[in-house]
Structure 1
Amino acid sequence: MRILLVEDDLPLAEAVCSYLRGRSYTVDHVPTLAAARAHLVGAAYEAVLLDLHLGDGDGLSLLPLLRALPQVPVTLVLTARDQVSDRIRGLDAGADDYLVKPYDPEELLARLRAVNRRRAATHDPLVQVGALEIDLGRELVRLSGRPVLLTPKEWALLRVMAARPEHVHTREALLDALYGFDEEADSNTLEVFVSRLRRKLGRDAIATLRGQGYRLAGGGAA
């Protein structure tokens, strides 16, 4: 999951980024609404963690842009405002959920997972490609009926491909799912993760289209 954190409290932002990255999430941090808008145009995010009180305006002013994106990311409002009216205003403006500061990072992750499950339940979260069964809502993978355990990075890569299983995903798009703007990846990083997925899902699970990218091709023999 690639996450955009919009937070102008730098010590808090560093702590949240460290916690999430330590659990293999990809996180980009920006301190202003202007920077957030630029990032949202330049990259695809699955979640936005949005502080309400920012130096250049009210965080809720970002919500119309989020709702207009082709792939609407989950929006979790992070705020020190604990009045009921502020919570209602945020939810009415389009936020999926909120957390009042100070909050526990484990609760933050739990709420992200819960909102993702609710969002997926309104669509078809189950993707079947050959012998592979991928439940996007519950983050579960089965091969020929048997559960497959994936690391967070492996899941992030598979999730991107499973969301559009017939699509050829470019190297750049897949690396975006694994690393933020301020993280550098080795030249063969993507190939390493693809190889790991093939070992777990079968060597024919992911097809390589030379010069184009990768796409799901169904599970095969390991």
Structure 2
Amino acid sequence: MENSGAPRRNLLLVEDDLANSLTLSALLEDAGFTVVIAESCAQLAGCLQGPSRYDAVLLDSTLGDGDGWELIPLIRRQLPEAKLVLVSGQQSFGTRAPVDAVFQKGEQVSELLACLERLLHR
């Protein structure tokens, strides 16, 4: 997915599992993203302060210090233009997830990259 002629996209990765966040961050950076990692609800709040701009947010549905679901309204309010992808191990959401896409844990990362490409029109 890397396109050396295209500008890098800014992505906020909200993931409390350090191994997962480091691995996913490296794969996303290889695909052309600039990645900022927030490992908790508290760190996410800090990332949303100030003029930072993100093209997309990958949000883990469960975090060590809170429920990722509860962060959706905050993210939508602070980053109305950003695409929001919920990362979850749950199979069913009903109408509970007002997000742009859902990535199921265990799926291939290539599917996540394809999803981001579609959402960001790359």
TM range (shorter): 0.7 to 0.9
Higher relative contact order (CA 8 A, sep 6+): 2
| Match of residue 6 from structure 2 | none
| Match of residue 95 from structure 2 | 88
1:48 aligns with 2:57: yes
CA separation in 2, counterparts of 1:25 and 1:9?
20
| Match of residue 68 from structure 1 | 77
Q: Which runs of 5+ in 2 are unaligned?
A: 1-8
User: Identity over the aligned pairs, expressed in percent?
Assistant: 33
Q: Report the 3-state secondary structure (helix = DSSP H, G, I; strand = E; otherwise coil) of the residue aligned with 2:36.
A: strand
Q: Which amino acid aligns with 1:57?
A: G
Maintained 8 Å contact 2:54/2:79: no
Deviation of 1:38 after TM superposition, in Å, equals: 1.1
Q: Which runs of 5+ in 1 are unaligned?
A: 118-138, 140-222
| Match of residue 12 from structure 1 | 20
CA separation in 2, counterparts of 1:52 and 1:72?
20
Deviation of 1:87 after TM superposition, in Å, equals: 5.3
1:97 aligns with 2:101: yes
| Match of residue 33 from structure 2 | 25
Maintained 8 Å contact 1:52/1:58: yes
Deviation of 1:60 after TM superposition, in Å, equals: 1.5
Deviation of 1:21 after TM superposition, in Å, equals: 1.1
CA separation in 2, counterparts of 1:100 and 1:87?
15
CA separation in 2, counterparts of 1:52 and 1:27?
19
CA separation in 2, counterparts of 1:16 and 1:116?
18
Deviation of 1:105 after TM superposition, in Å, equals: 1.4
Deviation of 1:48 after TM superposition, in Å, equals: 0.3
Equivalent residues in 2 for 1:20-169, closer than 5 Å: 20-42=28-50, 43-69=52-78, 71-82=80-91, 84=92, 86=93, 88-90=95-97, 94-117=98-121, 139=122
Larger Rg: 1
CA separation in 2, counterparts of 1:102 and 1:75?
19
Q: Report the 3-state secondary structure (helix = DSSP H, G, I; strand = E; otherwise coil) of the residue aligned with 2:106.
A: coil
Maintained 8 Å contact 1:99/1:108: yes
| Match of residue 206 from structure 1 | none
Determine which structure has the larger helix proportion and give its number. 1
Closer/same/farther in 2, CA of residues 70 and 13 from structure 1, 3 Å limit:
closer
CA separation in 2, counterparts of 1:37 and 1:70?
12
The 4+ residue runs of structure 1 with deviation greater than 6 A are none
Maintained 8 Å contact 1:66/1:72: no
Size of the alignment, in residue pairs? 113
Deviation of 1:44 after TM superposition, in Å, equals: 0.9
